[in-house]
Amino acid sequence: MRTFPLTGCGVLLALAAVPAAATQTDYALKADMGAVDGTNGDLGLLGRGHSQQAYLDATPWAHFQFSPAWSAFVRVRLFAPTGRVQTGANDNNNVGPTDQTFLGLKEAWVDYAGFRYPGESIRLGRQRVREDDAMYVDQDVDAVRWIFNTTLVQSEFGVGKEFSTYRTDSVGLPPDQKQRTYVFGTLGGEWRAYQRFGVRTIYVDDHGQLPPLGAPTDLGTKLTSANLLWVGLFFHNHYYDGADAPPLAYNASLNWVRGHQRTALIDPVTRVVDGMSNRHVRAWATDLGLRYRLPIEKFPLQLGAAYVYSSGGRGDNLSTQYSQTGLQSNYSRFTGTDSLTQRFTDAYRAELGNLKVSTAYASVNLGRWNASVIYNRFNRVHSSAPVYVDAVNIEPVNDNSSLGEGYDVMLTRFFGGKVAHSDLLSGDEPASSVRLRGSVFHPGAAYAANARNEYRVMLELVLWR
């Protein structure tokens, strides 16, 4: 059995130092049962076909209120699949598809809120760090975080690092997360009701030692080290508040990344290091969105459009190619419903960098029911630079800019009441539900002429008890 480092689970020991006995304990169990039918990311070119699998994802949690100032939260996970399956990219301990049953630690933290202002606290331990659009941060990390969340000001600053996946199977951290420290912060507020603006930043100190020239590598070898700084401006009127968003909702962000990056170059045949690349990174990205809800009480249809641009490199020079922070999930409530949705097509799962995405969608909230239909069109900025995709492992084969089109449909039925302490479950939908997700990616001319569609269909039953 895999052992957990003290940095993740040591918070449990720290509970003994809290200066009062527990005065209130809340607990709940989330059981997520799903069936998935989908292709395996090869665009039909490698003969992998498709598969049908099922899984159980059970996550009990407990919240302890020791005093008005001191509290703690613990959440664990049991994941049991019938075969190789990939759940949502925003799930904890997420490091790709797996066929292994495991126990995992999702969160374990203590919080001190004995300050002057309500909504101000310091939180220490493994914790969920998330922003509304999930394009900067939406992961569990070991961190210390100062949180200031009031009616007019929502800010936080922290330092975090992923020390482990905290799983009992043999799966370790992804190579790009090894020896990587994050310093992050957000300063936001409302200059008038429902008009929010702010600045956010993440600094990455990625000091892992790279393999020397001539060294053999495998898929677990760290190939990149960096010192990078992301700075972003955002403006929106609670665009990501689901059913509580205003009838006319907008979102805009502008992001820059600067720094230095060093990469070990690998021979594609022998997988031996045959060179080193050093570059100064100067890249940017923007995200724009607009949504309108028709004033029809019995059928409040919402229509929306969005556009994302992320700069790309040219050939081997990737100094102007944008990249995301490594803590993003790209799962958000951007369609105006209470259901989390993959921003860049669930059957494709693109990441920003050398990418243009045009999006159109329609959604509807009917009390306990909601539904979304989403269309994405993907294009490269520069045909000579790479694109990064989580759900497809086939590279483009020519200089055409068209990567393809994505189609997503989601139908959700909520039932039962909301679970206690829903404010601590920002990456969840804290009510029982049954949901059908369907996603298709149609490859564009940049891929092989005989490339086939990728698809993914998932039926989920989520029960809170």
Confidence of residue 1 (pLDDT cuts 50, 70, 90): very low
Quick check: 62 pLDDT over 90? yes
For residues 146 and 127, is the Cβ–Cβ distance under 8 A? no
CA 64, CA 14: separation in Å to the nearest integer? 13
In this prediction, residue 275 carries a pLDDT of 83
In this prediction, residue 318 carries a pLDDT of 87
Name the token pair of 169: 């199977």
In this prediction, residue 95 carries a pLDDT of 64
Closest CA to 256 of 308, 310, 207, 206: 310
Confidence of residue 212 (pLDDT cuts 50, 70, 90): confident
Q: What 3-state DSSP class applies to 450?
A: coil
* Lowest-confidence region among 5-9, 58-62, 256-260, 337-341: 5-9
Classify residue 422 by its DSSP letter.
G
Confidence of residue 90 (pLDDT cuts 50, 70, 90): low
Q: What percentage of the chain carries pLDDT values higher than 70? A: 93
- Segment 165-173 mean pLDDT: 86
Quick check: 76 pLDDT over 60? yes
For residues 396 and 368, is the Cβ–Cβ distance under 8 A? no
Quick check: 8 pLDDT over 70? no
Confidence of residue 387 (pLDDT cuts 50, 70, 90): very high
CA 334, CA 342: separation in Å to the nearest integer? 9
For residues 34 and 84, is the Cβ–Cβ distance under 8 A? no
- Segment 22-41 mean pLDDT: 90
Quick check: 5 pLDDT over 70? no
- Burial code (b: 16+ CB inside 10 Å, e: under 16) for 26-36 equals eebebbbebeb
Quick check: 231 pLDDT over 50? yes
Looking at CATH, the fold of the domain delimited by 6-464 is given as Porin (2.40.160)
Quick check: 19 pLDDT over 70? no
Confidence of residue 4 (pLDDT cuts 50, 70, 90): very low
Q: Which residue has the higher pLDDT, 14 or 81?
A: 81
What number of residues does the chain have? 465
In this prediction, residue 2 carries a pLDDT of 44
Segments making up each domain of the chain, as ranges:
6-464
For residues 335 and 297, is the Cβ–Cβ distance under 8 A? no
CA 332, CA 340: separation in Å to the nearest integer? 5
- Burial code (b: 16+ CB inside 10 Å, e: under 16) for 433-461 equals bebebbbbbbbbbbbbeebeebbbbbebe
In this prediction, residue 351 carries a pLDDT of 95
What residues does 102 pair with on adjacent strands?
A: 79
For residues 249 and 290, is the Cβ–Cβ distance under 8 A? yes
**For the segment 104-135, what is each residue's pLDDT rounded down to a tens digit?**
999 999 999 999 888 899 999 999 999 999 99
**For the segment 318-342, what is each residue's pLDDT rounded down to a tens digit?**
899 999 998 999 999 999 999 999 9
CA 449, CA 43: separation in Å to the nearest integer? 11
Q: What percentage of the chain carries pLDDT values higher than 90? A: 68
* Lowest-confidence region among 33-37, 171-175, 356-360: 171-175
* Lowest-confidence region among 39-48, 246-255, 256-265, 420-429: 420-429
Backbone φ/ψ region at 226: left (φ over 0), alpha (ψ -120 to 50), beta: beta
Quick check: 7 pLDDT over 60? no
CA 71, CA 186: separation in Å to the nearest integer? 23
In this prediction, residue 18 carries a pLDDT of 52
In this prediction, residue 418 carries a pLDDT of 82
Name the token pair of 67: 């005093």
Closest CA to 134 of 89, 184, 191, 74: 89
Q: Whole-number mean pLDDT of the chain?
A: 90
In this prediction, residue 49 carries a pLDDT of 83
